[in-house]
A and B are shown apart, each in its own frame.
Chain A
């Protein structure tokens, strides 16, 4: 479908592609001014440019350097206008509309000026429009037509840039400087939108040219977010896909399937072929921005490795046999039933995927609770953000973040804990950097010196570089300072929080054991730094907390989430814009998978299975009896598989063999089962242990919704027909039906209808409403029909905010004589999670293998040099990686990513997990590093690694 029906705007909306462009950003002023443009009265908010005022009233002024995602620049001089009482011809992009102004946008004088400016442009521009990739999508071409340029009297023999060499180094776009009109839109986009400041203008005057600095785009600081490509009004910066395939002809608006930011994209197609992804300005989460993954790394969807036919095999050592859907479904259903007949109803279960739509997830958990007849459903959120749900629900009453992303634009001090947004959540990272550049303060709590600690025009005021595993000690120390130095927001606490709990917490947090001076010894963070950071957070205005898996993936993950909630309540930073406690979710639909009832103890909307009233509603709706006891979590299923009680598993789009901790244990469990059914795009590590493989759909084929980290429900629309022949919810329904529980839906909208009918926070959600308004942040109900961007505005969802005592209990995983270093893990910009998608795209140009970051002194001590292969061993296992000597990690800490299966980072992670939710302690593993043996010189295959482990 095409959403772009707005006839207004300055750029012509080409057939089927593009969004209106009003030239300058929207003004948010409450004051309205009325002016006259070409004889018609126009009313706009004060601060609106004349250009935008004209554009909004349907009268377009020519422009080239202006675009509404950037601040006005005033360089192209195409948008000159005449204003009564003002001399000269001011630029309409940089001149704000004023009350009573009389503006003329079309006069003979202006016409001549614009034509003469255009004549200058074209005197230094290749005349190859017909063969240019931007033909039909070029503002220079459009404007030459608009101003009526008929002749270039200067000729084409003068000084020019036509001989400029193309830079084709970037795998996704070309830079052809000969077509550049030096409008600076790319440079400004890199500065203002992305905040990387990789681009600049080199030289001056006629010699001014856009430069990525250094040799070329690939070797520059460019992060390939594509903002420059999108901003370019000509064919200078152009997607390689457009150059190869031609201009797209239609648009489908959908949602990115990478991280939890949930960017809205206009998928631009040519027939049924996806040409490019363009971030939508109307996207609630991203407002027109994107990262290298979302914009460019979609090629995996049509990668040759994708499996498109169902397959079965008797034993995992057998070869796969391609079969029909009916046969595969019948085979799986029969086997599951056989297992249950032999080992009991409780002997099978399944895992839902945070990569899939709400509708797909809902059907999977429904299938397990109905057709399987047990509550043995869990989700990959178990291994990432389960502590978020537990912690925030205990303290605030809602298992979700409190803000929308936009809120950070109102923050005065930002506390960033265990998150690396510029790599893992780049579009939010850009928002955050923009706010920092505007002057907001930043406190980073991270063992590693992430980019936000110090990079171009960004510098953290405090970097609390703690030892991995000491989060709770540090958050308690921050709260201790606030509590004992009288910095708490007493009014907020008295009014909004449970005061008895607060009094108990005050006593606890004021204990000397929580003082920065004591915590310094535990965490390695200087007490004075903690004190200063605490004071800064408490006294700078709006304080916001953002956090990632560096908080949750610990043995005290849930404690830490509650510790942050305590800090936010103690400083009164909940319930308005600019504040809050905000998880940065790893997967596109972690929030959704939790919302949809993927956990063994909860039905959709976070309602416990033991609640008779809730269960009764579902039993009525589903016409089945539900068990009142929670089912097994993933670790229980795996443990029970090894002990022989758990025999069959449905794994929906999650590669537990690679992503879950202690790989050896996971693989042993998978191997022990009678039936493993995997539904995925590729033969992943888990599928190697499967007996049935159901090919899944990529996000480009799905129809449904994703819910991002701000509780925003975004529509996922099919860009193409399912390559495997079926929507995933269809496969699930058919499997459930084959197992004896009839399940049928005509379409995904019906599933959302069912979700809304039974889930109070989704009460008013429907595809029809989503298509109308774009996106909705739950709760969406009668009290909040337009959704809820900010939570807990008029009081906490649970009634009174609950302070919880959070004593620090050090993890049992500690550095010791045998394993003296602490390994912690994270992500890199170009790769995503276990890399199943991004490794199958040109993103591997930037990151071909996982490396181990190690401090110089630790490297020297072990005779390790930069680039050398090293063996990393923990008490669980051993793997081999290349070492990168780095100042980002302190001595005693090593760091790696887990994007590549061959590096097997999880071979060495341990069985320790969060006390409340079993979220694995990925972030702390005691290890030793030594130069790899010659036999380990080449990177091991996972099997080799396993055998050694």
Chain B
């Protein structure tokens, strides 16, 4: 009997390896896959049937025999593809995650892989760039810069060497989409990077993966090795005249190295410090050469765009937020995991609809979107469509699509203090507003909470937020005031402020 057991870190953390071992021992043919992204159901084991793959939730090693003997109906969630939580999503980038063997090129190809790449190989560079531009794909790392325009800049730059750098330094709290894709369908990323290479004339790609993702790095390396063996990577990509080499580099535990220029410094073996822009990396990036830097999710969207055409992708979404967004539900939430849908889903639908409220069962107090530097929102934003434009208008940002939920026990002054503390801890130390300002921010918030010269210190905090926002060299210092200001605005009482 063919069963599928996730090898994803989330599933492993709740015993998926032990379950897999037990199933092998019980005589099953076990195939390790990624995770479907329904964390409350892990380990979610799937059994191949004529009607599709039937899922069994929270399987324990002791369930192995029963599962193989068809006696585990109490844990069955039915055919997984028809499971409501999955069915309501629009999985494009994550279409294969949790389904295929992540490192098998054959399996990848059997599930629609390499179609985009083959198509790209038949097109002139300009047309690939055009296709990506038309799709409306924007950078999923947080900045939302149109990918096609960035690619066009790199294509237009002349140099003896160009690079594709994938930013897989997924450091935001409550985000895990990059990791899950790298662990569950890394060849999609590989394919996306090769297409980017063909599009801009780059023959070398690097994936900068955070060191905290050892499983992802291992899976990526295995997948890359297999891709070389299958002739997808190397001197002749899929038998073409085009060459592309790819390697994985590991970070060293710095949050700020997720900022693209600090990432370049780190990739060059230097201290992870922000570079000023200009020059933009598209013109002078890695080792001073024109470089495409895109997030995992951006590059992983490319194969589908090429395979199905820009139009199909462009038709999804709202306003200038086109295509799908892979939301990550985390924090105090009942049903955490991956929700990939078109832009435009409301915050309420995400948190209450998919997420099912808090895990603690207490009322939701606040939601932080876009990582530790994202704004806090309260229930008044429940109808807010999740898109770049609408979130910006609401004073927030989508960031990398992480949604972290807090119940009513959270103290928002502590959260605001944490934002400054996080910045102080992770600042590269280059620019003054971030280097000194974050430490002073902690001190000023403490004074406010202690009721010390509150009015003056509130004014000082506002001035500090202003100088950090407008004066910082990069988004690290520049965005830290976002959670601070939003917490202060929405929950002044938590700061001991009597209005």
Contact = CB atoms under 8 A, between A and B. Distances in A.
A joins B in a complex: yes
B438 interface: yes
A372 B472 CA distance: 74
A158 B439 contact: yes
Contact of B440 (A95, A120, A182): A120
Contacts of A123: 436, 440
A366 B439 CA distance: 72
A74 interface: yes
Given A204-B427, A204-B428, A205-B426, A154 B435 contact: no
B92 to A, nearest CB: 32
A91 interface: yes
B464 interface: yes
B467 A116 contact: yes
Contacts of B428: 204-205, 208
B142 interface: no
A120 B436 contact: yes
Contact of A153 (B426, B438, B456): B456
Contacts of B271: 200-201
Q: Contact size class for A?
A: 35 or more
A80 interface: yes
Interface in B439-494: 439-440, 443-444, 456, 460, 463-464, 466-467, 470-473
A91 B276 CA distance: 9
Interface in A108-149: 109, 112-113, 116-117, 120-121, 123-124
A124 B436 contact: yes
B427 A206 contact: yes
Given A80-B471, A91-B276, A206 B435 contact: yes
Nearest to A153: B460
Could you tell me the dominant secondary structure of chain B's interface residues? helix
B466 A113 contact: yes
B51 interface: no
Contacts of A124: 436
B402 interface: no
Contacts of B353: none
A189 B471 CA distance: 25
Given A91-B276, A116-B463, A117-B471, A201 B429 contact: yes
A206 B441 CA distance: 12
Given A121-B432, A153-B456, A205 B276 contact: no
Contacts of B444: 154
Contacts of B470: 80, 88-89, 109, 113
A121 B463 CA distance: 15
Contact of B429 (A91, A95, A208): A208
Contacts of A93: 276
Contact of A74 (B438, B463, B473): B473
Interface in A71-89: 72-77, 80, 88-89
A116 B429 CA distance: 17
Interface string B344-377: 0000000000000000000000000000000000
Given A72-B276, A206-B439, A89 B471 contact: yes
Contacts of A203: 429
A158 B467 contact: no
Q: Contact size class for B?
A: 35 or more
B467 A120 contact: yes
B283 to A, nearest CB: 12
Contacts of B436: 120-121, 123-124, 206
B237 to A, nearest CB: 29
B70 interface: no
Could you tell me the dominant secondary structure of chain A's interface residues? loop
A205 B271 CA distance: 12
A159 interface: yes
Contacts of A208: 428-430, 435
A159 B278 contact: no
A763 to B, nearest CB: 46
A475 B464 CA distance: 66
A204 B270 CA distance: 13
Given A75-B473, A206-B438, A117 B278 contact: no
Contacts of A74: 276, 430-431, 473
Given A120-B432, A204-B429, A77 B473 contact: yes
Nearest to B472: A77
Contacts of A109: 470
A95 B438 CA distance: 25
Contact of B443 (A76, A159, A204): A159
Contact of A205 (B427, B460, B463, B473): B427
Interface string B238-266: 00000000000000001010000000000
Interface string A191-207: 00000000011011111
Nearest to B425: A205
Nearest to B273: A201
A112 B466 CA distance: 10
A251 to B, nearest CB: 32
Interface string B405-439: 00000000000000000011111111111111111
Contact of B437 (A94, A120, A207): A120
Given A80-B471, A91-B276, A206-B438, A154 B443 contact: yes
Contacts of A159: 439, 443
Residue of A80, A96, A109, A154 ringed by the most chain B CB atoms within 10 A = A154
Contact of A206 (B273, B424, B433): B424
Contact of B278 (A94, A201, A205): A94
Contact of A76 (B277, B432, B460): B432
Nearest to A116: B467
A672 B48 CA distance: 110
Interface of A: 72-77, 80, 88-89, 91, 93-96, 109, 112-113, 116-117, 120-121, 123-124, 153-154, 158-159, 181-182, 184, 200-201, 203-208
Interface of B: 254, 256, 271-273, 276-278, 423-440, 443-444, 456, 460, 463-464, 466-467, 470-473
20 contacts: A75-B430, A77-B433, A80-B470, A88-B470, A112-B463, A112-B466, A117-B432, A120-B433, A120-B437, A120-B440, A120-B467, A124-B436, A153-B460, A154-B443, A182-B435, A201-B271, A204-B254, A204-B256, A205-B428, A208-B428
Given A76-B432, A113-B467, 16 more contacts: A75-B473, A77-B473, A94-B278, A95-B278, A112-B466, A113-B471, A116-B467, A117-B471, A120-B467, A154-B444, A154-B460, A158-B443, A200-B271, A201-B429, A204-B256, A208-B429
- Across the A-B interface, the 7 shortest Cβ-Cβ residue pairs: A208-B429, A74-B276, A205-B427, A94-B276, A116-B467, A120-B436, A206-B439
